[in-house]
Amino acid sequence: MTDRTDRQPAAGKSRHDAEWDMAKGLVYLVTGGCGYIGEHIVKLLAAENYVKEVRVFDISATFDVTKLSTASTTVTLVKGDITDVDQVYKAMEGVQVVIHTAALVDYMDLFPYSKMESINVGGTSNIIKACMAKDVTYLVYTSSIAAVGPNTCNEPMLRGTEETVYTGELRLLYGRTKAAAENLVRQANGTLMAHGKKLVTCVIRPSNLYGEKTASFLESYKSAKSKNGRLNYVEPDDIDQGYAYVGNVAWMHVLAARQLQRKPELMGGQVYYTYDDTPMRQRFKLLHSLYSSFDPSIQLGSRIPYWKMWLIISIFNIVAFLVKPFWKLKPFMTLDILNYLVITFSYNTDKASRHFGYQPKYSWAEAKVRTCKWLKEATIQG
């Protein structure tokens, strides 16, 4: 779909503005609300006085999400599986807005593709069906840049936009499921529901994220410490890959869900990349900036040649195949991830700002402090 030019509001209030003004105490359903992005979204929604309840729908809870409740907003937990349509229907009762973040994220080929497809595609289909059946008008879907690329030909994308045409077979299986689910959500936009209303949807497409509970960043820090503080890397020095703080990505979801109710004609069916003012365009430089700010012993090491890492992974794969009948080895990296790390794949956009007024909630300095605080605490806890 193509971008649409912002329209100037007509004199007086539109029907959607009037509905917004009359809305008192909205109920939001956040699928995957105990997850990485979902938890941040729930925290931010709980601070908004127009939200009466944030209903978290998740298959598991690693913490008591109800403790995120505030004076104005109650956070509740409904345990359930998005692949069970009956459970999804029950969770939708009395809901006005859905933010669908739940997914099986697998970059390491730990799960069968069929399972990932069932959750990411089938689960999204169930969410759409439930929205239609329960007259839930607004749906925001969390996709991924992996839904765009890189492709199997390793073609780069430099500072693209939401309108950039990038074709070819997707390299990551996870990305294929997210692309399929994204298409379902966009195609559902404008569908007539039971009582005459139309479903309004949009897609948020996160890129590379960092922040609290970024497990891979904690693992990389521990790895550097085990190598006398040397942070080695595989990315070329001139690679371009954008990064955004998870708190700002969550904030974009909150704003999109709010403004989708006021600007359905503009935002319906649209896709928005995530972005903020994080200055680093390379993963190893971002990691070094974070780690060295609270641990001066961390020094930028040397680049591991692509061929050497490719050889190590290939040997590991052969060994893993040979011992598979007796022992399942967990990969430290796959060839697909290696190729992803060394390809320029980035975008440059302000579409979210133009369409619904997005501005980063957290500056780079704030994001850095918050991330480092978590890293230090997580390291102490082991």
Give just the sign of the alpha carbon dihedral 147, 368, 258, 215: positive
Mode of pairing for the β-strands spanning 200-205 and 157-160: unpaired
What pLDDT is stored for residue 25 in this prediction? Answer: 87
345: part of which helix (H) or strand (E)? strand 345-347
Three-state DSSP at 295 gives coil
Cα 278 to Cα 243: distance, rounded to the nearest angstrom: 6
Q: Which residues contact 254 (CB under 8 A, 6 or more apart)?
A: 41, 44, 45, 48
What pLDDT is stored for residue 4 in this prediction? Answer: 40
| 360 and 248 Cβ atoms separated by less than 8 Å | yes
Query: pLDDT, tens digit, for every residue of 270-327?
Result: 999 999 999 988 999 999 999 999 999 999 999 999 999 999 999 999 999 999 889 8
DSSP lists the bridge partners of residue 203 as: 141, 271
Count of other CB atoms within 10 angstroms of residue 123: 25
Query: pLDDT, tens digit, for every residue of 90-141?
Result: 999 999 999 999 999 999 888 999 999 999 999 999 999 999 999 999 999 9
What pLDDT is stored for residue 8 in this prediction? Answer: 40
**Total-model pTM:** 0.92
Mode of pairing for the β-strands spanning 74-79 and 299-303: unpaired
Tokens of 44: 């931010």
Domain 15-213+242-280+347-362 - what CATH class? alpha beta
What pLDDT is stored for residue 16 in this prediction? Answer: 52
What pLDDT is stored for residue 3 in this prediction? Answer: 43
The residues assigned a catalytic role are: 174
Cα 113 to Cα 91: distance, rounded to the nearest angstrom: 27
What pLDDT is stored for residue 331 in this prediction? Answer: 87
Tokens of 224: 């550097």
Amino acid letter, 1: M
What pLDDT is stored for residue 322 in this prediction? Answer: 93
Where residue 29 falls (left for φ over 0; alpha for ψ -120 to 50; beta otherwise) is beta
What pLDDT is stored for residue 24 in this prediction? Answer: 60
Give just the sign of the alpha carbon dihedral 203, 209, 210, 216: positive
Domain ranges of the chain: 15-213+242-280+347-362
Show the low-confidence residues of the chain (pLDDT under 70): 1-24, 382
